[in-house]
Structure 1
């Protein structure tokens, strides 16, 4: 098969593309050419790279033709964010490809009603990112079910892996939280720490895309959650990280309304996004229909990310307790 991976130089593509090459497939990676893969792999020598600025070409109405000219069998689209731009891509590809796979997000769900959340629960997104991704999902599924466009949407949780700063137990991305937990210092947690986060290792996201692309009959016309087997509460997450360094978590619980005044506006917005969503997603549909079986638990994925951060001097921990 000829795979065209749009946005393939990111974390997920850095795992997915070498696996596709080793599986005997031809791979064309399309990106702006501003980033190299996150780690070297001999398989990249067999990958053709095409430089294209999606935003510019969508504005010019040429992006769909650019991708169609590569004559793909399968298109993996990691960077579709706006329905209008996607429509011209789908129009150019319709009738010319076997499968189109789009990267969505758990943010297509708003607050959970019952947990774990299944793909069939009604969409109640909030925030521009979640709303746009939900519109993309709805439109693609309609195109698939009514008009036969072979689309599948995969919804990852909080992606982590080496080279990535994971969402931390305070609900934001400041890596110093991990240093504080490692040293037994006080960490402020919103509310009672019972909101949830749901991580997934980039390698498992790559696995899901590959398996979905190889399960055409059960994947087309469907969307799937791509996360670890279980979500974490912020409190449990903090306690687990502290225990890795021989510490008992020193946690202070502060209502979000009070906490947001002590951080920057940007950080407060990030915290709110995560605690308001509190994702806790089921993967039973992906297990059953495409054979998805994550290798990493949430904590194992975060731990691998944290090891990388420590090795590269981005998180300072006591030498005696390095992971």
Structure 2
């Protein structure tokens, strides 16, 4: 099969493109610039890599026709963030593609009402990113069910892997939180530390895309959560990482508004964005229909990433 991956050098593409090549697919990629994947792999030598500025080409109406001109059997879109972008691609690719896979997000759910949350649970997205992604999902599933457009949506959790800082136990991306735990110092958490985060290793997300491609009949017209088997509470996450660094947990707690006063605005905002949603998503559907079995627990995925940060000198131990 000829597979086109749009936005191929990001977190998931780093693992997905080599998997596609090793499975025998002819792979074409589209990226805006010359960024390298996070992890080197010789499989990239056989990939037809194209440079396109999606935003600019969408503004002029050139992007969707350019995608169709590449004549891919399968199109995997890693970087679609607006309903308008999705509509343009669907209009151009209808009748010209055998499988279209869109990268969504578990933030389409907004706040959970039952946990673990199933894909079909009622959704209350908030924030532009979650609202737009939910609108794209609704549109693609409608196109699949009413018009036969071969769409599948994969919703990753908090993506983790070597090469970038993972979402930390305080619910933001400041690597100094891990330094605090590594030194055995006390870490302050918001509220009682019982809100949840749900990580996933980038390679497990790539594996789900491969499972969806391999199970065409089961995946068309469906959405799937791509997360680890279990979410973590902030408190449980912090305690486990403290022990991983060889220390007993030293945690303190304060109401969010009080806790936020001791944080930077950027960190406090990021934390609120995550704990206000507190995702805890089910993978039962993906296990049943795609045979999805994540290799990494949340902690294993984070620890691999943190180990890389330590090696880079970005976490003080």
TM-score band by shorter chain is over 0.9
Q: Which residue pairs with 2:117 in the alignment?
A: 117
Q: Which residue pairs with 1:46 in the alignment?
A: 46
Q: Which residue pairs with 1:259 in the alignment?
A: 259
Q: Which residue pairs with 1:248 in the alignment?
A: 248
The answer to whether structure 1 residue 178 and structure 2 residue 150 are counterparts is: no
The answer to whether structure 1 residue 64 and structure 2 residue 64 are counterparts is: yes
Q: Which residue pairs with 1:79 in the alignment?
A: 79
Give, in angstroms, the shift of residue 264 of structure 1. Answer: 2.4
Alignment of 1:67-146 (within 5 A): 67-146=67-146
Give the Cα–Cα distance (whole angstroms) in 2 for the partners of residues 245 and 234 of structure 1. Answer: 17
Give the Cα–Cα distance (whole angstroms) in 1 for the partners of residues 312 and 265 of structure 2. Answer: 28
Give, in angstroms, the shift of residue 134 of structure 1. Answer: 0.2
Give the Cα–Cα distance (whole angstroms) in 2 for the partners of residues 197 and 96 of structure 1. Answer: 39
Contact map agreement 2:119 2:223 (CA 8 A) in 1: yes
The answer to whether structure 1 residue 18 and structure 2 residue 18 are counterparts is: yes
Unaligned runs of 5+ in 2: none
Give the Cα–Cα distance (whole angstroms) in 2 for the partners of residues 245 and 85 of structure 1. Answer: 44
2:241 aligned counterpart, secondary structure: helix
Q: Which residue pairs with 1:302 in the alignment?
A: 302
Q: Which residue pairs with 2:270 in the alignment?
A: 270
Contact map agreement 2:28 2:50 (CA 8 A) in 1: yes
Give, in angstroms, the shift of residue 117 of structure 1. Answer: 0.3
Contact map agreement 2:144 2:151 (CA 8 A) in 1: yes
Contact map agreement 2:83 2:136 (CA 8 A) in 1: yes
Give, in angstroms, the shift of residue 252 of structure 1. Answer: 1.0
Please list the CA deviations of residues 138-180 of structure 1 after superposition, one character each: whole Å capped at 9, or x if unmatched.
0000111001100000000000000120100011111011111
Give the Cα–Cα distance (whole angstroms) in 2 for the partners of residues 267 and 175 of structure 1. Answer: 11
Give, in angstroms, the shift of residue 183 of structure 1. Answer: 1.2
Unaligned runs of 5+ in 1: 318-323
2:261 aligned counterpart, secondary structure: helix
Alpha-carbon RMSD across the aligned residues, in angstroms, is 0.8
Please list the CA deviations of residues 116-148 of structure 1 after superposition, one character each: whole Å capped at 9, or x if unmatched.
000010110011110000000000001110011
2:316 aligned counterpart, secondary structure: coil
Give the Cα–Cα distance (whole angstroms) in 2 for the partners of residues 94 and 289 of structure 1. Answer: 25
1:146 aligned counterpart, secondary structure: helix
Contact map agreement 2:183 2:316 (CA 8 A) in 1: no
Give the Cα–Cα distance (whole angstroms) in 1 for the partners of residues 267 and 239 of structure 2. Answer: 22
Give, in angstroms, the shift of residue 62 of structure 1. Answer: 1.1
Q: Which residue pairs with 2:159 in the alignment?
A: 159
Given the two structures, how large is their TM-score scaled by the length of structure 1?
Answer: 0.97
Give the Cα–Cα distance (whole angstroms) in 2 for the partners of residues 123 and 147 of structure 1. Answer: 24
4+ long deviations beyond 3 Å: none
The answer to whether structure 1 residue 147 and structure 2 residue 161 are counterparts is: no
Give the Cα–Cα distance (whole angstroms) in 1 for the partners of residues 147 and 175 of structure 2. Answer: 46
Give, in angstroms, the shift of residue 208 of structure 1. Answer: 0.4
Give the Cα–Cα distance (whole angstroms) in 2 for the partners of residues 39 and 86 of structure 1. Answer: 29
Give the Cα–Cα distance (whole angstroms) in 1 for the partners of residues 268 and 245 of structure 2. Answer: 28
1:29 aligned counterpart, secondary structure: strand
Bigger drift between 260-269 and 15-24 goes to: 260-269
Contact map agreement 2:6 2:79 (CA 8 A) in 1: yes
Q: Which residue pairs with 1:320 in the alignment?
A: none
Give, in angstroms, the shift of residue 265 of structure 1. Answer: 2.3
Give, in angstroms, the shift of residue 258 of structure 1. Answer: 1.1
